[in-house]
Amino acid sequence: MLTANRLRGLFPAIPTPVKADDTIDAGAVSAMFAWLNKQGIDGVVPLGGTGEYGALARAERIKMAGLSVKAMAGKGPVIAGVLDTGFHDALQAGREFAAEGVDGLLVLTPYYTNPTQAGIRDYFLRYADASPVPVLIYEIPYRTRIAIEPKILHELSRHPNIIGMKACNLDMYHFLQVVAGVDESFAVLSGEDSLFPLHLAAGAKGGIIVTACLLPRAWRQIFETATAGKTAEALSLHRGLIPLMNMAFAETNPGPMKAVMDMVGVEAPRMLAPLVQPAPALVASLRAELGRQLAISEGIA
């Protein structure tokens, strides 16, 4: 059973390779995991926003969960995103992914209904009670339009089946308050490429990082440097990735990243509606920057 102790290190948020008919490209999935596993990662997070959860057919989500489990082959936990809007659909998805062998579920804050804090609390408690595998909370208020108060996260962190969270709240004071009061059995993971070393310095145990799919060694170096207490050095390394991050998120993720993943051996640039292919000029600039960064990362031990 997955525990918070295993939520340490680098967990790339992975895209979903698809074919022209919007079904999973199993060959590209295999190539992506071959790349990631040889670079040194601690686990993966398929089927989140980066994985285009809302645009995938339900059967394809289940397939992607199973392929991820098979490809990781026990090398690290597979934590599948659950981004449904309603409790029953979310729980059904979690059960389906658990049946495919995932180790944990990253469950999004309920949105659109604009729940109260009490409603959010009850939602996650009910979900954790019913989930067959451990749950991580996914807080991303710039997408859901609702934040979870630190005191609610503190309470939820004490549930035995809620073992961590992906923190995508850009408010650093909110992050500091969360980390200050969560249970020892609960791991806070950074969900922001842009804030990763700061989150580590403030108490995050690792990160669910998008561009780690492209540069896992570089992000691993930032993690190891920051956790060794060398915050200034980690920030310097992170600063070198700012141009790449700016390009990777200049259009809606994962469009730019998918467009250049052939540079790491993954030929699957197709997007799912309503997303479209990124602008050619952006792709060209990102290619040049990624090529530069890959050359640098080859020198990282």
Please say whether the beta carbons of 77 and 111 come within 8 A: no
Instruction: Confirm whether 112 is a catalytic residue.
Output: no
Pairing between β-strand 104-108 and β-strand 79-82 as defined by DSSP bridges: parallel
Q: Are residues 283 and 257 in contact, defined by beta-carbon separation less than 8 angstroms?
A: no
* Catalytic residue (one of 53, 123, 138, 205): 138
Please report the DSSP string for 179-244 in residue order.
Answer: HHHS-TT-EEEE--GGGHHHHHHHT--EEEESGGGT-HHHHHHHHHHHHTT-HHHHHHHHHTTHHH
Based on the residue annotation, tell me whether 138 is a catalytic residue of this protein: yes
**Active-site choice (53, 63, 127, 166):** 166
CA dihedral 68, 70, 71, 77 (to 10 degrees): 60
Interatomic CA distance for residues 18 and 68, integer angstroms: 14
Q: For the chain, list the strands marked E by DSSP.
A: 9-12, 79-82, 104-108, 135-139, 162-167, 187-190, 206-209
Annotated binding site for pyruvate: 50, 208
Active site residues: 138, 166
